[in-house]
Structure 1
Amino acid sequence: MNAAPPPQVEVTEYTDPLCPWAWGAAPLFARLRTAWSGGARWRRVYAILFDEDEEPAPDPAAETAWYARYVAEVCAVTGASHAPRLARVAASSWPASRVAKAAERQGPDVAEEVLRRLRASMFVRGEPADTLPLALAAARDAPGLDAARLASDAASAAVRAAVAADRAEARRPVAAAFAVVDGGPHPGRPKETPAGEWRYALPTLRLRGPGGDVLVPGWRPEEAYEAALRTVRG
């Protein structure tokens, strides 16, 4: 029997486990991953929304109250649920991103469930998985998960290097990202980080195939992603 041809389209998803816009887009992206599975290779890049070594807020309680209102406003747009109370603004995206990256080594089903649980830590329970013990605890008992292997992989230099590569890639947005002019609720232009770098807005999909290279940044309707797929398929 002949082997199936390789996928013609590569989809790169720039995301973060603790991003409210990515939380809202997750159900749509899950449908797209299923619908496109026969003709696209989907790759996640963890962009690190909350970076290490950022200056702490002078008033953590006020910052948490402000961010909780922001999350509620985002979820009002996306239709996603959110926790009635947020314990704190996440100190770092690195732990959740390392656990999510490590889970990919155990197959796509495990990776999807672990990522869902990491997101739920913030947007369902209001306790962001912003330390490695909290991120591992959030993933615990996921069906099919080897928890000991996850802990070992998440703590490894190889997984940290993979997340560092993701972070760097997300901070090299292509020129087309800066040309975005859509005035929607989440326009999708690259964001300047506290370190003075630019990174893709989250979430952003980049589709590449025989028909070209198309970005779909920010919060978009399903039709925008389907149109991008048609274009890159040529």
Structure 2
Amino acid sequence: MRAAPARPALEVVEYTDPMCPWAWGSDPAFRRLRALLAGRASWRRVYGLLFTDEDDAPPDPEAETAWYARHVAGISRHTGAPHARSLARVAACSWPSSLVAKAAELQGEGTAERVLRRLRESVFVLGEPADTLPLALSVVRGVPGLDPVRLASDAASDEVRERVRADAAETRRPLPEAWAEPGASPHPGTAKETPDGGHRYALPTLLLRSGDARRLVPGWRELGEYTAAAEELCPGVLDAAPAPPSPAAALSRYGSLTDPERLLLGEGAWPPPGAVQVTTGNGPVWLCPEEAPSHPAVARTVDGRAANRA
């Protein structure tokens, strides 16, 4: 009988939300960390429902949207992540995008990553949050390798809803370390109070575990803090980690890259041939030639200007 594959010594749990601006700003570090740990660690995403049905409706939606747009722009100044030129509204609820992201996991890791990325881009590139199920399904249409019929069916299933419900409950059981001293991060990651008087992890938060040992790295952090936690738990886990690939290979691997990401995830002259540049409120998003034709940022114009091909 064939032996079961050995379980990686390191487990990474990512508490996140598709609509979270700090999680969007953490994509460069998380993508690089996943690449460094490929084959050496398991990685599980937990969707924490940043926006829920329990949230009170704003008395003045336009004022709320204007405030939130300024808030996101301020976060972008810390993270370097793009933000949309204009924001249609604050996301009403994280359930739809979380259901679609969780359902995409049933079609494989690579597909799930690209679906989650499209959902994030609905807010921070397009400016129209995927906060209904039809919008969430529409914005991911055309993701390479995605079966949209299966995705719609799975996202509406009781099984996937229960998985997201379990994710939300897990996020609302923060470890004691979530109240530790915040350090120097502009988003320190201290546990957040929920409308019912409980608490949840700040988003994003990474929990790294090896055996009985664990390290919690909450909030927005530099890549070095994550790699240090991994090395502390599993000395040598990053030995012989792969170097960044060529720009063309990086863009093909991820489908879309921001400027902070292309500097961290690829090595060489930029842009690679065929890259499609999408203008945002504070910097470009680059799409690979295979991703661009179905991407909603290319199907529309951005502030009256079409995306540009390098």
TM-score range, shorter chain: over 0.9
Shift of 1:6: 2.0
The 3-state SS of whatever aligns with 1:214 is strand
Amino acid at match of 1:105: L
Shift of 1:31: 1.2
Amino acid at match of 2:57: P
- Cα shift readout 1:146-201 (whole Å, capped 9, x = no counterpart): 00000000000110000000000000000011123314210110011223221101
- Structure 2 CA distance for aligned equivalents of residues 224 and 53 of structure 1: 34
The 3-state SS of whatever aligns with 1:5 is coil
Task: From the two aligned structures, give the one with the greater helix fraction.
Answer: 1
Amino acid at match of 2:87: L
- Structure 2 CA distance for aligned equivalents of residues 225 and 20 of structure 1: 19
Shift of 1:52: 1.3
Alignment-derived partner of residue 213 in structure 2: 212
Q: Does 1:194 align with 2:191?
A: no
Alignment-derived partner of residue 92 in structure 1: 93
- Structure 2 CA distance for aligned equivalents of residues 232 and 149 of structure 1: 39
Equivalenced residues, count = 234
**Cα RMSD between the aligned structures?**
1.4
Q: Does 1:20 align with 2:28?
A: no
The 3-state SS of whatever aligns with 1:228 is helix
Alignment-derived partner of residue 133 in structure 2: 132
Alignment-derived partner of residue 38 in structure 1: 39
Shift of 1:212: 1.2
- Cα shift readout 1:81-114 (whole Å, capped 9, x = no counterpart): 0101000000000000000000000001110000
- Specify the structure having the higher radius of gyration (Cα): 2
Does the CA contact (< 8 Å) of 1:180 and 1:188 recur in 2? Answer: no
Shift of 1:3: 6.8
Amino acid at match of 1:129: A
- Structure 2 CA distance for aligned equivalents of residues 181 and 22 of structure 1: 17
Amino acid at match of 1:177: A
Q: Which moved more, 1:26-35 or 1:64-73?
A: 26-35
The 3-state SS of whatever aligns with 1:72 is helix
Q: Which runs of 5+ in 1 are unaligned?
A: none
Q: Which moved more, 1:26-35 or 1:178-187?
A: 178-187
Amino acid at match of 2:98: S
Alignment-derived partner of residue 48 in structure 1: 49
TM superposition score normalised by structure 2:
0.73
Amino acid at match of 1:168: A
The sequence identity of aligned pairs, in percent, is 59
Equivalences for residues 136-175 of structure 1 within 5 A: 136-175=137-176
Amino acid at match of 2:63: A
- Structure 1 CA distance for aligned equivalents of residues 167 and 212 of structure 2: 25
Alignment-derived partner of residue 306 in structure 2: none
Shift of 1:28: 1.5
Amino acid at match of 2:28: P
- Structure 2 CA distance for aligned equivalents of residues 31 and 181 of structure 1: 23
Does the CA contact (< 8 Å) of 2:14 and 2:44 recur in 1? Answer: yes
Does the CA contact (< 8 Å) of 2:54 and 2:195 recur in 1? Answer: no
- Structure 1 CA distance for aligned equivalents of residues 178 and 107 of structure 2: 33
Does the CA contact (< 8 Å) of 1:210 and 1:232 recur in 2? Answer: no
Q: Which runs of 5+ in 2 are unaligned?
A: 236-310
Amino acid at match of 1:181: P
Alignment-derived partner of residue 233 in structure 2: 232
- Structure 2 CA distance for aligned equivalents of residues 53 and 204 of structure 1: 22
- Structure 2 CA distance for aligned equivalents of residues 59 and 137 of structure 1: 28
Does the CA contact (< 8 Å) of 2:9 and 2:210 recur in 1? Answer: yes
- Structure 1 CA distance for aligned equivalents of residues 112 and 210 of structure 2: 25
Task: Give the ranges of 4+ consecutive aligned residues of structure 1 lying more than 4 Å apart after TM superposition.
Answer: 1-4
Shift of 1:40: 0.5
Shift of 1:39: 1.2
TM superposition score normalised by structure 1:
0.97
Shift of 1:2: 7.7
- Structure 2 CA distance for aligned equivalents of residues 159 and 2 of structure 1: 30
Q: Which moved more, 1:61-70 or 1:24-33?
A: 24-33
Alignment-derived partner of residue 82 in structure 1: 83
